[in-house]
Every structure is written in structure tokens, then in C-alpha cells.
Chains A and B, each alone.
Chain A
Amino acid sequence: RKEVEQDPGPFNVPEGATVAFNCTYSNSASQSFFWYRQDCRKEPKLLMSVYSSGNEDGRFTAQLNRASQYISLLIRDSKLSDSATYLCVVNPPASGGSYIPTFGRGTSLIVHP
């Protein structure tokens, strides 16, 4: 089982829709969770950090559920410009006390007019 799993999609939604992505992780000792956005042929860029208490940034809401070992990203009122691939990042512990960033394979979102 891969450490971090995402539904690859694509999620094809109309403008104005609400869409949610989940990302599951296998190591319960994981720390530091993030969502990144990657546009076609560009580098990933941080979208949001994810905290246990949940956090919101405008139309975007991220949640962490440690009991079920998943993080989620909710996008409300989708815009055409939200079309991109969304990557989740989880940091499971590794030897030597460090934490190793592990990316999901990404979920593709296509917002159409």
C-alpha cells in the first residue's frame, strides 16, 4: 500500500460547483500536512498547510482527520482558474528522527464554463 493515496480524477466540474478531495495516509505517526497546487508544466506551489483544527483561506478549506488518517481539501464556488493538479504532502517519520516528505500522485481538477 502506498503511503499517501489520492484519487487521480480527473474531477470535471462546472464553474461555481463545490468539490472535495481526500488524501489518505498509512503512517499514523505522520506530521506536517500540506496541499500543493501544480499547474501544467509548472512547479508545485503551496496552497495550504493543514492543521487538526482545520483551516480556511477564502474559498478553500483544509481538514485533518487523524483518527481516520486522511486530509481533505474543499473548494467552494469553483473558478476556471482553479483547474490544476492538487498534491497532498504527508511527512511520516524516518530513521534518525527526521520526517520525510511524501507526495500523493495528485488529483486533477478541470473546471469548465
Chain B
Amino acid sequence: DVKVTQSSRYLVKRTGEKVFLECVQDMDHENMFWYRQDPGLGLRLIYFSYDVKMKEKGDIPEGYSVSREKKERFSLILESASTNQTSMYLCASSLLGLGGGRLLDEQYFGPGTRLTVT
């Protein structure tokens, strides 16, 4: 079974702190993703990565950065946490699709990190 793990299930941070959310997958997947999920807004893509040291912005990258130094690990960084970043953060991974169009295979999600910024 594919396993995607996230470093924390619950996290409480203060405004202005630098926050690191870690995600690790054990199935050698090329693609990794970071989403946030808020009531009424659904899942929104923050950043994704198709390869080591490669990153692309999703729909809401402002206030976030990412790092992918190893294939199995994808980190989300909040440089200076703000209260509007209080949310559920979900990491996902998937195999690279066939062809240059990079069609998406099914995604496997981690259990999520509920971040509260006070």
C-alpha cells in the first residue's frame, strides 16, 4: 500500500513564526502536491512538484514556498505565518502519467495537518 505521511496531525503556531510542514511518501512517486482545505472552499492547490528540485505554483501560492530536495519528501514552508493560513493542509503524491502531457494518475493523500495560527 502507498503510504503518505505528514509530520504533524495538529500544529499551533503564532503569527509571524516560520512554519515547516513535512510530507514523505514511500512509493517512489514522481508527483507531489500540497493543498489546503477550508469549509465551503474545498481543496485548493498551493504548490506541486513533478521532480526533485522542481516546483510549480498552484492556485494559491502566495505566502507559501516549497522544497523538494529528495524524491520522497516535499516540504511546505510558511515564511511568516498569518491567521488566514489557519487551515487543514493535505499532502498528496501520484505517479507521473504517460507522455509529455503529464496526465495525472490517481493521487494518494496523507492524513492532513490541522494548523492553527494565533
Contact = CB atoms under 8 A, between A and B. Distances in A.
Contact of B111 (A43, A87, A100): A43
Contacts of A91: 103-104
Chain B contact residues, majority secondary structure = loop
Contacts of A32: 97, 103-105
Interface stretch (A9-17, A52-60, A101-109): A101-109
A104 to B, nearest CB: 6
A98 interface: yes
B43 A87 contact: yes
A96 to B, nearest CB: 8
B112 A99 contact: no
A87 B109 CA distance: 13
Given A31-B101, A98-B50, A103 B111 contact: no
B50 A105 contact: no
Contacts of B40: 105
Contacts of A97: 100-102
15 contacts: A34-B106, A42-B111, A43-B110, A87-B43, A93-B101, A97-B100, A97-B101, A98-B50, A98-B101, A100-B48, A100-B58, A102-B45, A104-B42, A105-B41, A105-B42
B106 A101 contact: no
A62 B108 CA distance: 20
A100 B105 CA distance: 11
B106 A46 contact: yes
A98 B48 CA distance: 11
Contacts of B106: 34, 46, 49
A89 B110 CA distance: 17
A27 B104 CA distance: 16
